[in-house]
Amino acid sequence: MNRLLSIFWTLLLLATMSAQAQFDFTTNADNTLTITGYNGPGGNVVIPSTINDLSVTLIGVEAFANNTNLNSVIIPDSVLLIETNAFYTCLALTNVAIGHAVIRIEDGAFATCISLSNITLPDTVTEIGEDAFTFSGLTSVEIPDSVTNLGAAAFYGCEGLTNAIIGSDINVINQQVFSNTRLTTVTIPNSVYAISENAFEDCDRMNTLTLDEGLKTVGPDAFTFCSSLTNVILPSSVSNIGEYAFEFCAALSNVAIPCAITEIQDGTFLGCTGLTNVIIAKSVTNIGFQTFSECYTLKSVYFSGNAPVIGGLSTFEYDTNAILYYLPATSGWDDFSTNAGVPVVLWNPQIQTTDGNFGVRNNQFGFDITGTANIPVVVEACTNMAIPVWVRLQSLKLTNGLFYFSEPFQSNASGRFYRISSP
């Protein structure tokens, strides 16, 4: 019996020694180990938590790089860092289990792992390095709330990536982080104050983008070529939009520039061929070159303040359907049409309450709206001014500067309030 036990422990020791012999390692100053290489057969690999009674805490630089026989890896809970290019171009790697002590995944750690479709990031990770998963096969990723630093181009070129959940402690979406992916829906948490240049460039399947209050900066080319993006609501906290930020967002239809913006920079909405309506806050004093150029379906641009300085004829170049509208008591519009190359019209509709057409008549309630000829107007109504919910009743044009609006009147209807607005 003792002989059998001795043989068993000998075989187990040999198996352990054989497994450990597949790994090259160095001893760190703190008497822990760094895995520096792997010479085993590949397949499904379990990295040991200890070798020679010393804890394995680091997966070293290029330790498994370019290994085409590696199918899956289990990284033990003893590991704190996955270093630069640790699994770079492991083309057959499909599954990775990351231990629950990893703090940092460094630059290029899983870059070009084209078969790696899913990965679970533990909530101990605080930093994901540059190019960490670039050109990998990821189809979805959830970035835990523990992550505070998401490196540039971390998921660049992941052409199968359709879903990403961004953690709530990230402050900056760095350059090209999600560029050239296939994300369809993106929600930016309110912790993010800056989206850097090219962050979502060429995400051509993104159709929904939610930006939260707290965001201050949208960087240059941040969403350029997001050709499926239909709607963007810029929060009032945004104070800077970079050059060409929404260039060639062909499906974008409506834009409202918030009141913290003073300048709309060059080419911001260049080539937004589906854009029809723009509202520009009175804070805007400068609009750059080609800002709205090649917006072929642009019909209405509403200015809330004085005429801004613009980049000449290129600002609205090729916008043959566009009309610019300005409000009464604003200034600087005398030569604006000549400088912009598109018509400029005063938008001044008013409800006439003192004429004979105002009020109830023939089971209708109606009123005259007067103003500059042919300006577009929307009539809206609500029943509670304390908590108003405005319902659009009719879109119309003031033909010859006049329109009589009416709707059926019911004697038992509650009080109704009306207003007019731009489309």
How confident is the model over 364-399, as pLDDT tens digits?
Answer: 889 999 999 999 999 999 988 899 999 999 999 999
The whole-angstrom separation of Cα 175 and Cα 70 is: 31
Please say whether the beta carbons of 284 and 263 come within 8 A.
yes
The answer to whether domain 23-102 has CATH 3.80.10.10 is: yes
How does pLDDT run across 204-235, given as a tens digit for each residue? Answer: 999 999 999 999 999 999 999 999 999 899 99
pLDDT at 14: 38
Structure tokens belonging to residue 89: 């171009």
pLDDT at 412: 55
Q: What are phi and psi of 313, to 5 degrees?
A: -65, -20
pLDDT at 415: 77
DSSP state letter for 178:
S
**Average pLDDT in the 414-418 region?**
81
pLDDT at 199: 98
**Domain definitions of the chain by residue range:** 23-102, 350-421
The whole-angstrom separation of Cα 245 and Cα 221 is: 4
**Average pLDDT in the 135-147 region?**
96
The whole-angstrom separation of Cα 132 and Cα 397 is: 55
Residues facing 141 on adjacent strands: 164
Please say whether the beta carbons of 45 and 67 come within 8 A.
no
Q: Is the pLDDT of residue 356 over 90?
A: no
3-state secondary structure 384-423: CCCCCCCEEEEEEECHHHEEEEEEECCCCCCCCEEEEECC
Q: Is the pLDDT of residue 11 over 50?
A: no
Work out the pLDDT band at 7, boundaries 50, 70, 90: very low
Q: Is the pLDDT of residue 26 over 70?
A: yes
Work out the pLDDT band at 12, boundaries 50, 70, 90: very low
Q: Is the pLDDT of residue 17 over 60?
A: no
How does pLDDT run across 87-109, given as a tens digit for each residue? Answer: 999 999 999 999 999 999 999 99
**Mean pLDDT, all residues of the chain:** 92
Burial of 298 (0-12, 13-18, 19+ CB in 10 A): buried
